[in-house]
Amino acid sequence: MTNEELIQTAEKVLNPVTKDGRLHGDVGAAVLGKNGKVYVGTCVDTPSWGLCAERSAFAAMITDGEYKFDKVVAVWKDDKTGKLYVLPPCGVCREFMRQIDQGNLESEVILGKTDVKKLMELIPYYEWPAPLE
Ligand SMILES: [Zn+2]
């Protein structure tokens, strides 16, 4: 699956819905697991807890028994202009991706049609620190 196809897959799950003043589904994510399957998710925003689209997609992947991924992307569409944006993952999602399997540090995060970074490039100082002398 190409990065463009993964971006399109993430776009397909966009479904913005406002419930009780909270916006859900305006960010979509798609992740290609090491098993070759694609998992999708959208963001959820409740007063008690919020979940990014990426972690929503990873939850589906983990539910299927997979913990490693090849690449991930999240997108948001501006309703006013119809333009699609690729969003970089937030810090919580970056750490989550690392913590579900350390091997994911080598996985790719899609940041645009031609812009891709390894997860480790997006998490400086991820290693456990040495004790103070
Ligand atoms: Zn996030």
Stated pTM of the model: 0.94
> Residue by residue, what is the 3-state secondary structure of 45-92?
ECCCCEECHHHHHHHHHHHCCCCCEEEEEEEEECCCCCCEEECCCCHH
What's the 132 CA to ligand 1 centre distance in angstroms? 31
The pLDDT tens digits of the residues spanning 69-115 come to 999 999 999 999 999 999 999 999 999 999 999 999 999 999 999 99
What's the 129 CA to ligand 1 centre distance in angstroms? 24
What's the 88 CA to ligand 1 centre distance in angstroms? 9
The pLDDT tens digits of the residues spanning 25-66 come to 999 999 999 999 999 999 999 999 899 999 999 999 999 999
Q: Which domains does the chain have, with CATH numbers?
A: 3-122 (3.40.140.10)
What's the 36 CA to ligand 1 centre distance in angstroms? 23
Q: Which pLDDT does position 102 carry in this prediction?
A: 96
What's the 90 CA to ligand 1 centre distance in angstroms? 4
